[in-house]
Amino acid sequence: MKIVSVKGMRDLLPADTVWFQRLEDEARATFAAYNFQEIRTPIVEPTELFTRSVGEETDIVGKEMYTFADRDGASLTLRPEATASVARAYVEHRLWERPGLCKLYYMGPMFRRERPQKGRYRQFYQIGAEVLGGNSPVVDFELLAMLRLLLERCGIQDAELVINSVGCADDRPAYHAALREALGARLPEMCADCQRRAQTNPLRVLDCKVPADQPIIAALPTLESFLDDKCRLHFAQLRQLLDANGISYRVDPRLVRGLDYYTSTAFEFQHGALGAQNALLGGGRYDGLTQALGAPAQAGGGIGFALGADRFVLAMQAAQALSAALTAPAAVIIPLSAGELQPALALAERLRRSGIRIELAESGRKLSRSLELASKLQAGYAVIVGADEAASGQWQLKDLSRGQQQHIDTEGLEARLKEVAAAAPAEVA
């Protein structure tokens, strides 16, 4: 029996990782510009963290978590998302006592036991950021502006920002009651899922996609009319900021989030070229989450987002705005025979210490084979090290794109390769 990777968990080979790295580089640079700093939390957390924050009734907690008993009987879970962990760390280390807002980003694998699908895996990668300690709509605006910039930098032009306000702890009970009331008589006509949702989490009914249910859903009272003054004002101010700064968006009164901790502002960037998984990135405000985990009121609210890196990369590839970065060596050094191996090795080490990407060909192969290898690796140059070159220190440098070659000493070679690396960034087509 051949051993293969676990269902829904895949190897990311170099052809994939160049894209992930590119996304991660852009994300780090963008986050840095908005003064976010990185946090790394454990992949394994106490199960209770997720049941208390994400919510006992959500699909994630209800049926998608990888939960297991530790040897001492403690229930542990592979994190299905990271906001809960960041909030936990915020409380654990009393980060609200530090000056200013707490702005953190993370990137790493998450685990949910769903049926694998295009852009959806059981081990998937998220990049996200959280702003803790602030309740102002300006914070919401800055986060959305940052995301718009990140999308631009990654070459994704056709993602649509969709926003909504899902209310808060103060106004939601009234809305839930109103929904149940309005559904009342018509509920038996609806799909089984909706009947269940009406009991467990009425907000989710709004997200139903069953065609037959749509007329009923369309007639339901909108959440907007139940927002309290605080939420209404917050949302209006956010829209004003987006309008004033030229960030386009669509308000979708039916946009809801699947995790219980969300309040007030909810948003998603949607993209067409992803099959059914059109949510490229999503997030929202979660005022009260840190308090639910034990922080005092002064710890403030929070807002954050997470993007699905696997999906995001698909969108980057679809946009073709960035060519796949070729990780080609600057030069392949070719020792012609075993006698030239040592000088070739020494030369390779010298160049590598200068940060130049160097591949060393096997000694003793025919020169034509080694040059063929250099071509296939798409190296810019080949450096031929034969007995004469080893003796004189004048290497034979061959420009593989032009076919020209010349003698050059170590200093000159190093200078040339550095110059070429500087002129041609990694993502040459």
Q: Which residues bind RNA (CB under 7 A)?
A: 7-8, 10, 58-60, 81, 112, 114-121, 124, 126, 193, 197, 204, 207-210, 256-259, 268, 275-283, 306-308, 310-311, 336, 365-369, 371-372, 374-376, 384, 386-389, 396, 398, 400-403, 405
Looking at 108-191, list the stretches that DSSP marks H as alpha helix, in order from N- to C-terminal side: 137-153, 172-183
Given the complex with RNA, which of 230 and 345 has the nearer CB atom?
Answer: 345
281, two tokens: 């990135």
Angstrom CA distances, 192 to 64, 71, 110, 196, 197, stand at 20, 40, 30, 6, 9
How far apart (Å, rounded) are the C-alpha atoms in residues 261 and 57? Answer: 12
Smallest gap, in angstroms, from Cβ of residue 429 to RNA? Answer: 15
Smallest gap, in angstroms, from Cβ of residue 152 to RNA? Answer: 18
Given the complex with RNA, which of 237 and 273 has the nearer CB atom?
Answer: 273
Angstrom CA distances, 134 to 64, 85, 105, stand at 31, 18, 16
Smallest gap, in angstroms, from Cβ of residue 203 to RNA? Answer: 9
Smallest gap, in angstroms, from Cβ of residue 5 to RNA? Answer: 8
Given the complex with RNA, which of 42 and 364 has the nearer CB atom?
Answer: 364
Smallest gap, in angstroms, from Cβ of residue 72 to RNA? Answer: 29
Do residues 323 and 307 touch, judged by C-beta distance below 8 A?
Answer: no
Residue 127: how many other CB atoms lie within 10 Å: 24
379, two tokens: 């190296």
- Give the DSSP H/E element, type plus range, for residue 77: strand 75-78
Smallest gap, in angstroms, from Cβ of residue 124 to RNA? Answer: 4
Q: At 194, which amino acid appears?
A: C
Indicate the Cα dihedral angle 318, 321, 323, 325, nearest 10°. -100
Given the complex with RNA, which of 353 and 376 has the nearer CB atom?
Answer: 376
Given the complex with RNA, which of 237 and 277 has the nearer CB atom?
Answer: 277
Smallest gap, in angstroms, from Cβ of residue 272 to RNA? Answer: 11
Given the complex with RNA, which of 171 and 310 has the nearer CB atom?
Answer: 310
Q: 3-class secondary structure for 279-340?
A: EEEEEEECCCHHHHCCCCHHHCCEEEEEEEHHHHHHHHHHHCCCCCCCCCCCEEEEECCHHH
Given the complex with RNA, which of 229 and 405 has the nearer CB atom?
Answer: 405
Smallest gap, in angstroms, from Cβ of residue 386 to RNA? Answer: 3
Given the complex with RNA, which of 213 and 228 has the nearer CB atom?
Answer: 213
Do residues 416 and 408 touch, judged by C-beta distance below 8 A?
Answer: yes
Smallest gap, in angstroms, from Cβ of residue 298 to RNA? Answer: 27
Q: SS3 of 378, please?
A: coil
With CA atoms as reference, report the closest residue to 109 among 157, 63, 47, 66.
66
Q: Are strands 263-270 and 160-165 parallel, antiparallel or unpaired?
A: antiparallel
- Give the DSSP H/E element, type plus range, for residue 359: strand 358-360
Smallest gap, in angstroms, from Cβ of residue 190 to RNA? Answer: 12
Looking at 360-409, list the stretches that DSSP marks H as alpha helix, in order from N- to C-terminal side: 367-376, 387-392
Instruction: Please provide residue 13's backbone torsions phi and psi, each rounded to the nearest 5 degrees.
Output: -85, 170
Measured between its terminal Cα atoms, the distance across the chain in Å is 41
How far apart (Å, rounded) are the C-alpha atoms in residues 229 and 369? Answer: 75
Do residues 344 and 380 touch, judged by C-beta distance below 8 A?
Answer: no
Smallest gap, in angstroms, from Cβ of residue 283 to RNA? Answer: 7
